Structures are given as C-alpha cells and as structure tokens.
Amino acid sequence: MDPSAFLPIIKSTLNIIWQVFSVWWWLPLPFIFFPNLKFIYEWYMNDKYWARANWIVLEVKISKEIDRPLKAMEQVISNFWQVYDPADFKERWFEGKYLLNFSLEIASIDGKIHFFIYLPGAFRKAFESAIYSQYPEVEVDQVMDYTRRVPQDIPNKDWDIWACNFKMMKKRCYPIKTYLSFFEATQEIEEERRVDPLGVLLEGMSRLGPGEQLWFQVMLKPILKDDENDWRIEGREELAKLLKRPLPAKDNKTIVGEAFNLLLHDKEPFKSEEKVEPLLPPELHMSPGEKDMVVGIENKMAKYGFEATIRMALLGKKDAFFKPNLRFVLNLSSGVTTINLNGLKPFMTTKVVAPAFFRNQRLYIKKRKLFVRYRSRWGYYFPKYVPGQENGHLILNQEEIATLWHFPGKAAMPAAGLETIESKKAGPPANLPIG
C-alpha cells in the first residue's frame, strides 16, 4: 500500500489537534498552577494576619529564692497550650487566620543571662497569669527585642556568627531525656538537691565576656492533631512494632477482589482470617530497654503536644568572638539525649567543609540565613513544609519543654551571670484573668 495515501489523513488529524489546542490551550493551566497559586494566596493572607498580631518581648526576672519544683514549669507550659485556637474555613481563607506560635528564649549578653518570651500581644495576660500562678516571686516586664540591639547585617566586618538548628535523633514519638531522669528517688521532695539539666548551659553562658552573645530559642506552636502527618499515628505504629502487635487492618476488600480469591484460592468471600494468639503476651519477651521505650512513647503521647523549632546562635564582635564556646551547644545536646530513646543534635549549621566551590560566599549565605530566621522567629523550612523532613519538625510535650526552658532553683543557680532580683517589688497585676 502506498504510504503517501496516509499523508492527507495525518495532515487532517494534526490540523484538528491544532485547532482544538489553539482554542482550549488554557484549560489545563488552572489545574497545573492551582497548588502554587493556593500557596501564594494563603501566604499573603497569613502575612497580613501576622502583621496585625502586635508581637512583643517579655523578660522574666527571676528571684534568687526560687525553690519551686520543675513540675511547676511543666504546669506553666501546659497553660501556654491553652492558646490553641485553630481557624475554621472562613477564618483561614477569608481572614488569613492561622495558629500563631510563640517562643521561649534564653540569651546571654556579655555574660548576663536573661529569660525572654516572644509572643503576640493578645497572649500577654494569659502568659503572665500562667507564670505568676506558679512563680509569684518573679517579675515580668515588656522589653525591647534583644535581637534588634545588634547590627542587623550580621555577619559583617565587625561581627561574626555561628548558628545551628536542632533535630531529633529518632522518630518524633520518642521523648528526649527530661528532668525526671535527673532525680534520685529521694530528690522529688527536696527540690534544692536536684541536678539541673540546664545547669551546664547556664554556667557556660555566664562565662561569656564583653562583646559575646549566646542565644537559645525554643519556638512553639500548640497542636492537637497534625493533619499532614499525625505524630500520634507514628507513635501507635512504633508501639505496635515494639509490642509485636499487628496494626488495625484497613478494610480494602472489594467484590471483584473477593471473587478472584474464591476462583483462584478457593477462599470464602469476606471471611476474616483467624489469628493464632501466642501463649505468652509479647510484653514478657521484652528487654528492659524496650520496656523503657514503650513507657516513654506512651507518656509522651499522653500529654499536650507542641510543634517545635529549636536553634542556637553564638555571635559577637570579631575581636572577642571565641569559637571554642561552641561546646556549649554540644553540652545541651548531650544533656538531653538518651541512646535508647531520643535526643537532639545540631543540623543546618553555618559550616561549609573545605574544599568547596565558592566556600566564602556559601558560608556568608548560611550565616545570614540563620541570623534572619532566628531574628524573625521563622521555622526551619519557612515558608513551606518539606515532606520527608519530619526529624526537623520536632514534636515536644510540656515535660520536654520544661526541661529545656525553666528557671533554675537557688542551688542550681550559676556562679555568676544570671541577673536576679533580691525581692519582688509588687504583686502580680490585679487585672490578670483567673483560671
């Protein structure tokens, strides 16, 4: 058959395709660009809502006579969770409302240690009430943001910085080492005998000299359920593996599939498989370490959860910048790490290993990025969530947060550097809400 006979048919077909494309070429574009347009719109609306939040910084001035147990700080953090107020459909898409975060911070400025809280102005009374209810001897004052008291173009010719974020060493459902692990059986009653998990960090902060600063930030957002990746589902799956129990099976049986099973395997349709129960429960075969893991996961899941971002920055004038002070970062990491449970380790640091192309330029960009993110209180991957990076999206409960941010007792007070008040000038504000 002559191939040239097909040419008119091919030309006619291509002509029809071209006519359809020239008229309807725009039809798939909304489906292609919708995810990005949706993200840009929501980010724009969220940015307007964020700007209306009236962000403030509170400094908590502590007393030398604090002898409250760390359970008190855990209760304070639990009260902070009550700001949980997720947006409904109308608030999210028409008002730009979203769940605002807050930040618990410790800063050593020229060797003087300060406790700060960065939060929306609307949260102030609720936070003050939570603190005064457990620590009536402290003072809470609004102050200027300490991150604005240094040059805003760091790193520059006069100032240098080293910074890092922290991520979890294992899955988010595993707890880090908390303050309860720092007590002996008799130390629950006598608080002054406690071993403070923050002691080594505060002592190191107090030894910084003039022109040096060390910042520590725990940024938090209360969560009930993470719709994108529920960490409690992750925890239940991990418990099932440890206890050697099957997860609840999903019912994916269909009529067609069951018909094939009947014809090919002679299986009765929609009949559940009988499971052979072991003579001894799996718990009796677990090692002590595995039991600790099960108890740790269950205890963590039983308390309020917060989505967390943890970072640290060491900065200062170049003539005073002492890089070996980075060991304070590792001291914090090792102090809250348990091998069989979980811990924190630095990542996304201001480090570029030589040899590397454009090393100085890349190092500057890393330092600049981490400084801006600390100052702006942005998350690790702002502005977008990065799937597959769950270890960088920390989940902490109030017990873990109280371990990382609390007021040291009088026996755990660093030798120098912690600015304290001798006695409280006055009682808490009379117009604070109660309950």
In this model, does residue 433 exceed pLDDT 60? Answer: no
In this model, does residue 186 exceed pLDDT 90? Answer: no
Confidence bin at 103 (pLDDT 50/70/90): very high
Using one digit for the tens of pLDDT, what is the confidence trace for 38-64? 888 888 898 899 888 899 999 999 887
Confidence bin at 192 (pLDDT 50/70/90): very low
Going by DSSP bridges, is the β-strand pair 159-168/305-317 parallel, antiparallel, or unpaired? antiparallel
Higher pLDDT, 427 or 355: 355
Q: Using CA of residue 243, residue 244, residue 245, residue 248, what is the dihedral sign?
A: positive
Distance (Å, whole) CA 317 – CA 30: 52
Distance (Å, whole) CA 247 – CA 275: 13
Mean pLDDT of the chain: 80
- The per-residue pLDDT for 185 is 47
Quote the distance between the C-alpha of residue 115 and its chain's center. 19
Highest mean pLDDT among 141-150, 165-174, 234-243: 141-150
Using the CB atoms, write b or e for 192-204: b if 16+ within 10 Å: eebebbbbbbbbb
Confidence bin at 266 (pLDDT 50/70/90): low
Q: What is the mean pLDDT of residues 426-433?
A: 56
Higher pLDDT, 396 or 250: 396
Confidence bin at 132 (pLDDT 50/70/90): very high
- The per-residue pLDDT for 74 is 92
CB 119 within 8 A of CB 395: no
Distance (Å, whole) CA 140 – CA 431: 14
pTM of the model: 0.81
Q: What is the mean pLDDT of residues 78-89?
A: 86
- The per-residue pLDDT for 22 is 86
In this model, does residue 307 exceed pLDDT 60? Answer: yes
In this model, does residue 306 exceed pLDDT 60? Answer: yes
Structure letter (DSSP) for residue 175: P
Q: What is the mean pLDDT of residues 223-248?
A: 74
- The per-residue pLDDT for 51 is 87
Least confident of 185-189, 267-271, 412-416, 430-434: 185-189
- The per-residue pLDDT for 187 is 46
Confidence bin at 409 (pLDDT 50/70/90): confident
